[in-house]
């Protein structure tokens, strides 16, 4: 393969280049870059295309505007159980995680505002995570009545330990940027107005380095994480798909959209 990949077919992910650095920005700004069906499909192929792109050595993953990603679009979920529209797909979910972990080029997360649910998962599975001081991280699947099946059960324990991970995954409570840095969830927290420059400088440093040595160092470190993902992901996604059919999930989605507190029944 020669040349660059044409990223123009993507509607929910915008690509731009600066030298050998490729920036991919999640783009659904009207909904704080929430993951709808179209973005979910695109996420399942974007990292494969980034791997094939011959004109880049380093990837920056970010969100358009003031948010990284607000997580799953609950309107999409509501249409799936009320109108029979296709909801979150298990095969796509697996491709997102494995294509991200298989990407040999170093990938830097640049996080502003909320990184929630799947948004948090893909940010935290990046190799180095820079966060604005206004960022916050959460995996609130349980608040939507579903299991944190799309990768949260894999990556959170590796970054913050099992006890903290279970606390955050069972409550869905958010982690502010400063706390995320303190507990090792992210690498660096910087003032919002300095975030772009810090990420640009770090990406340029990697791009100017011994790119093959950097790439394969990342690959070696990721072997254990990929083994873990292969062990956990089928089960966690299976549990998530099961809980998409529960009354608690429907109640959580309706309550959020109606701006009221959900009344869970355990059914």
User: Which residue is it, tokens 């296709």?
Assistant: 86
Dist. CA 36–CA 71, nearest whole Å: 9
pLDDT of amino acid 59: 98
Query: How much is the mean pLDDT over the chain?
Result: 94
Q: Average of pLDDT values for 1-22?
A: 89
pLDDT of amino acid 3: 63
Dist. CA 26–CA 45, nearest whole Å: 13
3: alpha, beta or left? (left if phi > 0; alpha if psi -120 to 50): left
Widest distance between CA atoms in the chain: 56
Instruction: Write out pLDDT tens, residues 206-241.
Output: 999 999 999 999 999 999 999 999 999 999 999 999
Q: Average of pLDDT values for 169-197?
A: 98
Element of type H or E holding 136:
strand 136-138
Q: Average of pLDDT values for 96-117?
A: 98
Q: Is 257 helix (H, G, I), strand (E, B) or coil?
A: helix
Q: Decide which of 88 and 179 is more confident.
A: 179
Q: Decide which of 102 and 76 is more confident.
A: 102
**Span of 77-81, 110-114, 142-146, 169-173 with lowest mean pLDDT:** 77-81
pLDDT of amino acid 165: 98
Q: Decide which of 98 and 87 is more confident.
A: 98
pLDDT of amino acid 116: 97
Residue 15 confidence (pLDDT) above 80: yes
> Is-contact 111 68, C-beta < 8 A?
yes
Q: Average of pLDDT values for 91-118?
A: 97
Terminal-to-terminal C-alpha distance of the chain: 52
Dist. CA 76–CA 140, nearest whole Å: 17
Residue 264 confidence (pLDDT) above 80: yes
Nearest to 108 by CA among 65, 56, 149, 153: 56
**Span of 46-60, 222-236, 248-262 with lowest mean pLDDT:** 248-262
Q: Average of pLDDT values for 138-144?
A: 95
> Is-contact 104 161, C-beta < 8 A?
no
Dist. CA 190–CA 197, nearest whole Å: 10
Percentage of residues of the chain with pLDDT beyond 90:
88
Residue 51 confidence (pLDDT) above 60: yes
Domains annotated for the chain, with CATH where assigned, are 7-193+210-257 (3.90.226.10)
Dist. CA 219–CA 127, nearest whole Å: 10
Q: What is the pTM of this model?
A: 0.94
- Rg from Cα positions in the chain: 18
Percentage of residues of the chain with pLDDT beyond 70:
97
Q: Decide which of 143 and 81 is more confident.
A: 143
Dist. CA 164–CA 113, nearest whole Å: 22
Q: Could you give the strand order of the β-sheet that contains 188-190, starting from the edge strand earlier in sequence? A: 13-18, 21-26, 58-63, 107-111, 128-132, 188-190
- pLDDT band for position 85 (cuts 50, 70, 90): low
CA dihedral 101, 102, 104, 105 (to 10 degrees): -50
pLDDT of amino acid 1: 42
pLDDT of amino acid 84: 67
Q: Is 15 helix (H, G, I), strand (E, B) or coil?
A: strand
> Which token pair is 245?
């059919």
């Amino acid at each position: 393969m020669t040349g660059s990949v044409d990223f123009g077919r993507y509607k929910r992910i915008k690509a731009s280049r600066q030298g050998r650095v490729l920036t991919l920005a999640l783009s659904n700004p009207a909904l704080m870059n929430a993951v709808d069906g179209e973005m979910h499909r695109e996420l399942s192929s974007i990292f494969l295309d980034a791997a094939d792109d011959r004109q880049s050595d380093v990837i920056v993953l970010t969100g358009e505007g003031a948010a990284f990603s607000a997580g799953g679009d609950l309107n999409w979920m509501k249409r799936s159980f009320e109108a029979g529209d296709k909801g979150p797909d298990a095969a796509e979910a697996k491709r997102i995680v494995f294509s991200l972990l298989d990407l040999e080029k170093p990938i830097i997360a640049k996080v502003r505002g909320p990184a929630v649910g799947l948004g948090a998962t893909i940010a935290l599975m990046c190799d180095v995570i820079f966060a604005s001081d206004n960022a916050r991280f959460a995996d609130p699947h349980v608040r939507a009545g579903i299991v944190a099946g799309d990768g949260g059960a894999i990556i959170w324990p590796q970054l913050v330990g099992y006890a903290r991970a279970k606390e955050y995954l069972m409550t869905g409570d958010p982690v502010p940027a400063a706390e995320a840095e303190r507990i090792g969830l992210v690498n660096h927290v910087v003032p919002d107005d300095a975030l772009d420059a810090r990420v640009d400088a770090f990406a340029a440093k990697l791009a100017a380095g011994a790119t093959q040595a950097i790439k394969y160092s990342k690959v070696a470190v990721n072997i254990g994480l990929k083994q873990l993902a292969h062990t956990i992901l089928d089960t966690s996604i299976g549990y998530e798909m099961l809980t998409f059919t529960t009354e608690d999930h429907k109640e959580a989605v309706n309550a959020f959209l109606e701006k009221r507190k959900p009344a869970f029944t355990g059914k």
